[in-house]
Structure 1
Amino acid sequence: MSRLSALSYRQQGVLLTGGGALIMAPDALLIKVADLPDAEILMWRGFLSALGFFLIALIRHGRGILAAYRRCGWTGIAVALLFSLTTCGFVLGNQYTKAGNVLMILAGSPLIAAGLSRVILKERLPRRTWLAIWLCMAGIAMIVVDDVGAGSWVGNAFALMAATTLALNFTLCRTRPGADMSPMLVFNGVIVGGGAGLVWLAGGAPSLPAAHQLTVVILLCLVIVPCGVTLLQRGPLYLPAAEVGLLLLLEVVVGTLLAWWIIAEQPAPMALVGGTLVLGTLFAKGLYERRLELRLRAGAGPALQDSAEQRAG
């Protein structure tokens, strides 16, 4: 038995989703560092990430890759289209406003996912999850409070599109329990890359990025995005959509701190308080649920033993 399969269902979900969020943390920063035009960065991100997603799917499924795609069905096509909109919204949002603004708006995805899950799936979240969502939202607001006034309405609108489609994507995945939708991300890359490539070619004489820009793009689009998003896309197999979005806030906090660190800006005291609030809330929630899970297991043990003795008798 692998170490991952030895963990509980919830623990696997937290590990996969949290790991994906941390891998994706430099995303907004590297988009800024690449400093490429809209269509060009989207084209590279689309095609390179499609290659990365396909290689991951091939490694995971081998000869069964076609069966993995068939299992996704029409829901998988909808997931690919939604994630295409998420990609465009996130990248263009970072092109037109500060990374902090985009990340703050993306932090609203847990609330959107919670609302969608309640309406579409009739999922009722525990009060502790709602409390954690609101505490994390308060912490995120503290982190980027100084950036809000400097943002562009265009960039903010793109970021809101990304948050909404991401929440809808996670909720839609929950309608097909047990079906892994991550292989469909290949088509997301092809859709984004193809559309952006046509715009890029129509815009004049295309040329390759400079060497340092190409290095950043390859690292981001061929390695970070495929690995991080694949883990995030598997989150709804194990956790409610709102909790996947809640763990996504790790990307928001770490990504914002990375942006500050790389551009040598000192975080304001309120930002440090906000980051501590988010991370502390996620840690406390995880610790509480771990203790609750152990308590339930301990209570279930004697019950299972009594049942076995009754059957034996």
Structure 2
Amino acid sequence: MWERMPLRLKGYLITGTGVLMLSPDALFVKDTETDVATFMFWRALLLGSVLLLVAVLRYRSELPQAIKRCGLAAWVCPLAIACGAWSFVAANRLTAAGNVLVIQNMAPLIAGVIGLIFFSQKLRLQTWIVIILCVFGAVLMVAGEMGAGNPIGLIVALALPVAMALNTTVASAQRGVDTTVILPLACALMLIPALLMGGASLPEWSDMKRLLLLSLFFLPCAYFLIQSGPRYLPGAEVSLMLLLETILGTLLVWWWVGELPTTLAFIGGGLILSVLAGSALLDLYRMNRKAARGAPDPREITRPTD
């Protein structure tokens, strides 16, 4: 069944599952009291160890060649991922989560522009409409939190959507190449600033337990699946799927700390879910009609290579 599934649908399922695993990230960041340097040191060390083990087990002696096949992505994506991770953690500590999410949700628009200008990745009109509506929904969700927290956090958060857009767009431009192999390099780049800032110290056990759960389970699954998404989807559509984190993260906070979302949050979340579901159903309907006529799906990008 998986082999016969359209590539776009595979991309949605893979990326969506990755976002599901990523959704507790902001909650864990907010729920720990460890300083940013120490938090990033253990996050990068544990996450990088798991991702390196996965890469070695998959490719063994072929790992250097697999990294080389990534081309431009081997240089750009690790730096973008590392910058995005630092921006996300630091901004969440400095300002309200809603501020960070609003700025983060600009990533699909930035990815669409980068892909169009530098990689000739033309998006469908349907995709642009979905991006605009989902960004509007995300803004509604967190409108109540805007203005809270340290304004410096807003400046730090500006790096996040740019980093996300660069990573997904450059990875997608490699036309199906497996760029998950560069994830350990990204973790190494996250680790260097943390070491220079004196982050190599043990946090309190209560925080360490959260770091272990986040960095050994949730984040490795999330990073691997989300980084696999550009093999099947344009970068802007991968970034678009990340908008689901806004909904899932809000629901987790509601469940964990009893923070009831506002009416605008429910409206914005409903808009995002409705638009994404409607777009996916429309794609499936079109693909089924094409398959019934025996025609190939022109929207399928080059099939992934191993």
**1:29–1:99 CA contact under 8 A, matched in 2:** no
The structural deviation recorded for 1:16 is 0.8
1:126-137 mapped onto 2 (5 Å cutoff):
126-137=124-135
Q: State the match for 2:138 in structure 1.
A: 140
Q: State the match for 2:79 in structure 1.
A: 81
| Gapped regions of structure 2 (runs ≥ 5) | 297-306
**2:70–2:179 CA contact under 8 A, matched in 1:** yes
1:39-78 mapped onto 2 (5 Å cutoff):
39-78=37-76
Q: State the match for 1:110 in structure 2.
A: 108
CA distance in 2, matches of 1:10, 1:4: 12
2:262 pairs, out of 268, 271, 290, with 268
Q: State the match for 2:285 in structure 1.
A: 291
CA distance in 2, matches of 1:65, 1:207: 31
The residue type paired with residue 140 of structure 1 is A
The structural deviation recorded for 1:74 is 4.3
CA distance in 2, matches of 1:122, 1:207: 46
1:21-36 mapped onto 2 (5 Å cutoff):
21-36=19-34
1:279 aligns to 2:273 (yes or no): yes
**1:103–1:256 CA contact under 8 A, matched in 2:** no
CA distance in 2, matches of 1:278, 1:236: 21
Across the aligned residues of Structure 1 and Structure 2, the Cα RMSD in angstroms comes to: 1.7
The structural deviation recorded for 1:123 is 2.0
The structural deviation recorded for 1:33 is 1.1
Cα-to-partner distance string for 1:242-296 (whole Å, 9 max, x where unaligned):
1111111111211122123212111111111111111111111111101111111
1:98-177 mapped onto 2 (5 Å cutoff):
98-177=96-175
Q: % of aligned pairs identical?
A: 34
The structural deviation recorded for 1:216 is 0.3
> Highest CA radius of gyration, 1 or 2?
1
| Alignment TM-score, normalising by the size of structure 2 | 0.92
**1:86–1:166 CA contact under 8 A, matched in 2:** yes
CA distance in 2, matches of 1:158, 1:58: 34
3-state DSSP of counterpart to 2:182: helix
The residue type paired with residue 197 of structure 1 is L
CA distance in 1, matches of 2:107, 2:218: 21
CA distance in 2, matches of 1:47, 1:212: 18
CA distance in 2, matches of 1:76, 1:128: 31
The structural deviation recorded for 1:5 is 2.4
3-state DSSP of counterpart to 2:69: helix
Q: Name the count of aligned residue pairs.
A: 296
CA distance in 2, matches of 1:150, 1:295: 49
More helix by share: 1
| Gapped regions of structure 1 (runs ≥ 5) | 303-313
